[in-house]
Amino acid sequence: MFGLGKKKIVVASPFAGQVVPVTEVPDPVFAQRMLGDGFAVIPEEGASVVNVCSPISGTLRKIFKTLHAFAVVGDDGAEILVHIGLETVELKGEGFTALVESGAKVTVGQPIISVDVAAIRAGGRTPITPVVFTKNGQVSDVSITDSHPSMAGVKVATARFA
């Protein structure tokens, strides 16, 4: 009753940058929450190379072959996708370096992929990075708790399990 007892998930920023609602991502698949609810982070303007970290503790379920995204299953069962930049799959891994292998246990704030953000921008792509809960119906809502420029591993959002 009144939402009491509903489990909450605390999510950290994957890197330093400005946190925005997922509805502000300039891609309809993310903005319309087709992949799930969440938020996005825009790297700092002067950022050159960024280590993209795990937003939760759990198991690194998958690093995509082109290194543009990874999925983590949290210790609490949350399933989160971190998609580094938009249209970055087209780079076929260029400018991305995996720092951890799929299947590894990870902790919040642990670097997963290093990315050349300057190259993404130079190629005309946006480095905005959506962080979304991908398990259909898993969370009822996501609240950004800190939209100010944040650091990697710092709590920026809370989600409630549905």
Nearest to 158 by CA among 51, 3, 35, 50: 3
Give pLDDT, residue 145: 86
pLDDT tens readout for residues 80-103: 999 999 999 999 999 999 999 999
When pLDDT is cut at 50, 70 and 90, the band that residue 138 belongs to is: confident
**Alpha-carbon gap, residue 98 to 35, rounded angstroms:** 23
For 79, the token pair is 């399933």
Give pLDDT, residue 134: 94
**Alpha-carbon gap, residue 115 to 49, rounded angstroms:** 6
Residues serving a catalytic function are 83
* Separation in Å, CA 16 to CA 75, 90, 121, 148: 24, 24, 16, 10
The answer on pLDDT for 1 being more than 60 is no
Look over the chain and give the mean of its residue pLDDT values, rounded to a whole number: 92
Give pLDDT, residue 60: 98
pLDDT tens readout for residues 72-81: 999 989 999 9
Domain ranges within the chain, ordered by starting residue: 15-161
Torsions phi, psi for 93 (to 5 deg): 90, -10
The answer on pLDDT for 69 being more than 60 is yes
pLDDT tens readout for residues 38-61: 999 999 988 999 999 999 999 999
Give pLDDT, residue 79: 96
The answer on pLDDT for 156 being more than 50 is yes
Coil, strand or helix: which one is 75?
coil
pLDDT tens readout for residues 2-21: 544 468 999 999 999 999 99
When pLDDT is cut at 50, 70 and 90, the band that residue 31 belongs to is: very high
Is the model's pTM score more than 0.85?
yes
15-161: CATH, from 2.170.120.12, 3.40.190.10, 3.40.1160.10, 2.70.70.10: 2.70.70.10
